[in-house]
Amino acid sequence: MGNIKVERQPDEQRLQELGVKDWPIWTKEVSEFPWTYGSQEICYFLEGEVTVTPEGGEPVTMGKGDLVTFPAGLSCTWKITKPVRKHYHLD
């Protein structure tokens, strides 16, 4: 299984290549919950901050301006510390 991949502050060209602005938006308040990815997800954070801890792995903090890829099959815990608003795309 792959790792969480975080691209910090990708440029506008990268976002346009991916078509991020056409992706649906997901929002969530400050909370903590378990999550398992059934397929790969790429997301771009418009707002917020979250620490994602994979089962048996190191916590990864991400937030506004980050482009993040979560591998299929990843089980983790989301801890949202600032309300999140993100574009997302499932492969």
Does the domain formed by 5-90 have CATH 3.20.20.60?
no
**1-5, 32-36, 58-62: least confidently modelled range:** 1-5
pLDDT score, position 47? 98
How many other C-beta atoms can be found within 10 angstroms of the C-beta atom of residue 15? 14
Q: Taking Cα atoms as reference points, which of 86, 83, 73, 9 lies closest to residue 38?
A: 73
Q: How confident is the model at residue 2 (pLDDT cuts 50, 70, 90)?
A: confident
Evaluate if residue 8 carries a pLDDT over 90.
yes
- The band of 45, judged by pLDDT with boundaries at 50, 70 and 90, is very high
Locate the domains of the chain by residue range: 5-90
57 Cβ contact list (under 8 Å, min separation 6)? 3, 76
